Structure 1
């Protein structure tokens, strides 16, 4: 949202009060706060203090390396609700001081300093290095002619600085020059709208910013004032937090320590998911033919998902299997689970008027109401649908009670669809929440209710969702998928950009519809997308009006599905370790190159490739003729598919056959390589091969292979000494490999001579 007309003028209908002169600074060492009182015009005499608005800016710190800034104009409002559930360090107090020159708050290496006198000037520094600043015209309270109030802040952008994040956004991953509204909408993947809006951005200078407002936050990333990032919220108060680095990984660690990190997800969830697709015609015979067809073609399947029409038309959501299609659901699930499958079913938080739940919810007060007391309803999506009011604990128990019944029949997880079409005015929540703040936050409560139920029934580490919408903190309820994309190469690229942005917004796990959702993909698009999808954290074959079983395309699609499913399962020891980093450090499985190569300017704009963990670079082929440009950072990188090497740093142009793409292993890596291709949930350390790539003399690498059951992992150490490669580990079956040379470990020791 823009509040200026160029540099000098204001748009018609706005009154802008900018912080102009710092009149006083109060430091409270016991509370750890630094409070700044700034007038909105210069004070030359006592008379100038009359009829003079005052802005109060308070600095505090919830944890080392994090500064909270609170800007208020009129501070008499009611406590806002809902609020993000930020964790914080309850035992931490920053250092604060006020002097004749100004004020300072220090938290870890991060320091915010405020200058007294005329001319607003605040700096955020890390270990003495300037990160960003709030300067003249940055802080303001705004009122329009209709009486709507806003507060904005502007932070400086240094020349060459790039901004990332703001949720799952499908445009350019670098956000400089963009206007972004944090407002969850069901807009597909080909527009500026997004399902997962997160008011957090990450800077290439090694800091991050979270605007602590769950409702609508408007960002102008060098798009109003080209040398600044502006963010604004409705109301009289704006709060934001600055997170120190110094690296982008450090920023994400601090950010997710405050907003929450992904829990461990079940090992089986990393396998291939297959669905009925959306509007296709299916019954148990169809489902069985899909499942058996995958097995007959050696296409290992972990999860089968039943999409919307497992329930009766016009009844969504009522949690009743359509008797015309699935007359014996319990027996069917038993038969499918006997084939080694896990079961997922589609749900949403919308209750159609024809649903058996509608009357129950209405009579018990569990559905969202209008201000006149009537039920809020619409015909968009489902006839007469209402919304479950998840601010009501009894409504949560009621809704999840039906989920427990499904779990008791053999369902293992839920696809929590929708959650974006939420009214922002004219409604009343059970707990009195502000509808504007609830618009984005509604999906958080929805997913949390479902995820907590899965944890309660299945246990820690066995709960997993397939969720579409989210906001800050949603990473604590994985997995999320990219929403409704098209079946084109262009949509494949925008899908990847969305995943990269979401990973830079604190989300560890992410998936997407292989081949695209809308339309039927050309076989070539489908086959290229297969490699991308199976080299993601989670992999799902799903479509809208057509099926995604590989043989519906051609025999080559079957072969490529087999090849990359087997590859993913061999990579499971490595992927499991990467997933553990998502849990412990808040680092995404699918990573923009910023996270691994933040000092490489050429890597910072790359948004058609990604790092799968810290050691494997993947560049999906987005061209019908197989052409692909991949940026290769410094060193000698090795193709995981054919063993060829390429040396960086440079952009490399390659042409790949349909079943190939650049999958390059980082020099200096030791990749744990599993011995199973039939399933993802096996003993990853048993028979593992430690594959060493371009270790330099003196390099020492520790490799920890997690346990699939969540227990203690297995530790290996690989070292290079001259032309010898030496590995130590447990006295069990494992191997050491460099190039084509492979040796078996004996009594926990393996050694080979490099060629």
Structure 2
């Protein structure tokens, strides 16, 4: 076992000492040796002979006296198991670590335990393990690891061969240091890395570094993330999941230009690899392992309206009525914390009758106008709440390492009072929280916005058997799962939450939104990048606050451009600190915004098909171009455009003015036609167009069928469109397969009106 002195040492995994194979797994014992650096000189040395380590002893700047540690081995173990043809699990930890006796589902991220046979071969120099498409090659001495695909192409290798001028390895493959384990991978010359959750920088992560730690990011430009996810893709042909709740330090060629470095808190590296040249196939395998999302109810695909805050029942009913009067369909009105009596960073489920009257009557009045009600919540409790003492006495609150009630971290409190957190790892506390939703759901509340969840304290202790280092990042997963499952159980319908925080596995509980974006062009751009990055790590249903949540006064031009983006996003919600209703931005902005909201409803059949297809394949509804065109070197770099489903290409306009602007956008392989102007484009080329305020490029792939419906002027919500006939707009073919209708039935395309689109000058802006 590792002693207290060794806890502070650095060890390099160096030599395979024993190999044992079974039908579905292979176990390798590996010796790790203490290692040191030579002062300011980068690189590592162990106590082995210098020539065996590849050190250039004749270098004139090599120190004359080199003191190296003794070769005192520490035993590690690598367990390789097969999951399916493209998926392998590599579990690496000190030999006696209890993780080898645990179920991989312990953390709640992985949901499947399926295995498949392995092919195994060894000789004096190497060990080869294959599950079909994926093959792992391990050299015995020194220990290195390489992964190949079904065509024997290297898709991943540890970075042991990368050295500085004196021959010292700069990034040994596996390093244990100070209680953390680091995996260092060599980046190929043209390799691109994607993923790691909702990161708001460039979607191609090369040259970036960050820590995967759930934070109240306080915006999209702070460098923090609400929904980090330890999942990434490589353009070489693999994706990977680190099955952990611990913080992960990620460096994608930032410190060492040719090294992808991943440092995981603790001494356990639980890595699932998905090997395929197609990122869609990798996501399918990942969601087979971790669970799929589900299709939200149809009304969720309508227009949502919110504000921080609506202060009364009368105010919300007036907004709802004005939506109908102005011909704006709207399905959901969202109510932020004013529904609570104690409403500042507190949820105790005590309804504020003074502001909103009888809850069931209020919900019924909204329903009469065609709206559903969304309510805000967070998992924190204010000591001012009359329920705080009750929950503390019951042991339902997160404690600290001394056993006292722990306090929220990372989010400033408005009055200085510490807030406590409900302990969702405690089954009784979790059940209490779930039961609090019962009366709300019985009264007809449709959805809960599960806000916050990033504030689990550094010294917090949840009632969980998993090590404490996992608790902070797993807390958002526990929280959103508890609410989502309560809605499903208590209503019998498909649940939906609107969550801000997340981790690996959060895609199982749709939907999520991109947090508190600034009301600027930069905020809109960061929002799109965050959604595309998240899509490759947590494929499901993601959205954003139209107009941004905070910041400078939102201009009418930016409001329109963000509304256009929202109309072509998986889910569509306007929300912010100040009013977001379209009539607050002037007559011109109002008319354009209303047109795009109604276009959203015209596309409901397409959105419904895309949602079902995405869930069936384990794919996101909003897709980076890289996901669909991984072999296109330009598409790999594009993060200002996206696909909605498989067939609509969206190019948002990032501008805050009212005048026409030029938009340069990329056309991926194939022939594409603008859905609203009829203009046609040939792929693998850039195009520049002058875009008036009324337009945004929305292109249809040649050969696609886009089902649409007509939206009558008096339509209030999706409920008024359930029986509307569909039109199949075909772009280059005369039919399509069966369609999933709004009631879940399938109908043949022949029962719909088919409208071939063949004239490139046709104006198809109105149904």
Deviation, structure 1 residue 91 = 5.0
Report whether the alignment pairs 1:335 with 2:354. Answer: no
Partner residue in 1 for 2:14: 20
Match of 1:400 among 434, 438, 449: 434
Q: 1 CA distance for matches of 2:706 and 2:493?
A: 28
Partner of 2:517: 485
- 1: distance between equivalents of 2:730 and 2:27? 52
Matched, 1:220 2:251: yes
Is the Cα contact below 8 Å between 2:203 and 2:529 reproduced in 1?
yes
Contact 1:485 1:491 in 2 (8 A): yes
Stretches of structure 1 lacking an aligned partner (at least 5 in a row): 1-12, 717-728, 742-755
The answer to whether residue 488 in structure 2 is matched with residue 459 in structure 1 is: no
2:323 alignment partner, one of 282, 294, 307 = 294
After superposition, the Cα gap between the structure-2 partners of 1:384 and 1:55, relative to the gap in structure 1 and judged at 3 Å, is closer
Q: TM-score, normalised by structure 2?
A: 0.87
User: Could you tell me which residue of structure 1 aligns to residue 730 of structure 2?
Assistant: 692
The SS at the match of 1:19 is strand
The C-alpha deviation readout for 1:423-446, integer Å capped at 9, x for no partner, is 122x33223443321111101111
Alignment deviations for residues 587-627 of structure 1 (CA, whole Å, 9 cap, x no partner): 11111000111111111111111111111111111123522
- Please name the residue that 2:23 is paired with: 30
1:573 alignment partner, one of 605, 610, 617: 605
Tell me the equivalent position of 2:137.
113
Q: Give the match for residue 736 of structure 1.
A: 755
Q: Secondary structure at the match of 1:655?
A: strand
Secondary structure of 1:559's counterpart equals helix
Task: Quote the Cα distance in structure 2 between the aligned partners of 1:36 and 1:132.
Answer: 21
The 1:252–1:384 alpha-carbon spacing in structure 2 relative to 1, beyond 3 Å, is: same
1:318 matched to 2:338: no
Question: Conserved in 1, the CA contact under 8 Å of 2:20 and 2:26?
Answer: yes
SS in 1 for 2:470: helix
Which of the residues 695, 708, 717 maps onto 1:673? 708
Structure 2 residue aligned with 1:350: 380
Question: Using a 3 Å threshold, how does the CA distance of structure 1 residues 272 and 281 change in structure 2: closer, same or farther?
Answer: closer
Residue 394 of structure 1 aligns to a residue whose secondary structure is helix
CA distance in 2, matches of 1:485, 1:149: 36
Over 3 Å counting, the alpha-carbon distance change for 1:84 and 1:124 in structure 2 is farther
Give the 5 Å matches for 1:462-473: 463-473=495-505
> Is 1:705 aligned with 2:739?
yes
State the aligned residue count.
698
For the residue of structure 2 that corresponds to 1:117, the secondary structure is coil
Q: Are residues 76 and 604 of structure 1, via their aligned partners in 2, closer, same or farther at CA, if it must alter by over 3 Å?
A: closer
**Aligned counterparts of 2:413 and 2:301: Cα–Cα separation in 1:** 31
Deviation, 1:377, is 2.9
Structure 1 residue aligned with 2:670: 635
Q: Deviations over 1:568-597 (max 9, x none)?
A: 122122111111122111111111000111
Q: Which residue of 2 aligns with 1:5?
A: none
Change (3 A) 1:472 1:293: same
**Equivalent residue number for residue 69 of structure 1:** 90
Secondary structure of the structure 2 residue equivalent to 1:561? helix
Cα distance change on mapping 1:647 and 1:507 into 2, 3 Å: same
Other-structure match for 1:60: 81
Map of 1:96 onto structure 2: 120
Please, which of 513, 524, 530 is the counterpart of residue 498 of structure 1? 530
Q: Which stretches in structure 2 are left out of the alignment for 5+ residues?
A: 1-6, 34-45, 53-68, 161-170, 761-767
Q: 275, 280, 283: which is aligned to 2:312? A: 283
TM-score (norm 1): 0.88
**Among 588, 593, 602, which residue is 1:556 paired with?**
588
Within 5 Å, give how 1:353-502 maps onto structure 2: 353-377=383-407, 380-381=412-413, 383-425=417-459, 427-461=460-494, 463-502=495-534
In the alignment, the residues of structure 1 paired with residue 641 and residue 613 of structure 2 have an alpha-carbon distance, to the nearest angstrom, of 20
Shift of 1:339: 1.5
Q: Distance in 2 between matches of 1:89 and 1:373?
A: 35
Question: Given that residues 163 and 174 in structure 1 are in contact (C-alpha distance below 8 angstroms), is that contact kept between their aligned partners in structure 2?
Answer: yes
Contact 1:22 1:120 (8 Å CA) reproduced: no
Displacement after TM superposition at 1:733 (Å): 4.6
Shift of 1:681: 5.4
CA contact (8 A) 2:265 2:469 kept: no
What secondary structure does 2:130 align onto? strand
Cα distance per residue 1:89-118 (max 9 Å; x no partner): 535232223333421211121111112333
1:126: which partner in 2? 150
CA distance in 2, matches of 1:50, 1:652: 62
Instruction: Give me the CA root mean square deviation.
Output: 2.4
Query: What CA distance in whole angstroms lies between the structure 1 residues aligned with 2:720 and 2:240?
Result: 40
Tell me the equivalent position of 2:62.
Answer: none
Change (3 A) 1:685 1:34: farther
Q: 1:432 to 1:241 in 2, by over 3 A?
A: closer
Q: Say if 2:262 is the partner of 1:269.
A: no
Tell me the SS of whatever aligns to 1:604: helix
Q: Which SS does the other structure have where 1:431 is aligned?
A: coil
Q: What do residues 371-399 of structure 1 show as CA deviations (whole Å, max 9, x unaligned)?
A: 33321135943633210000111101111
Contact kept? 2:89, 2:271, Cα under 8 Å: yes
Whether the 8 Å contact between 2:550 and 2:576 is mirrored in structure 1 is yes
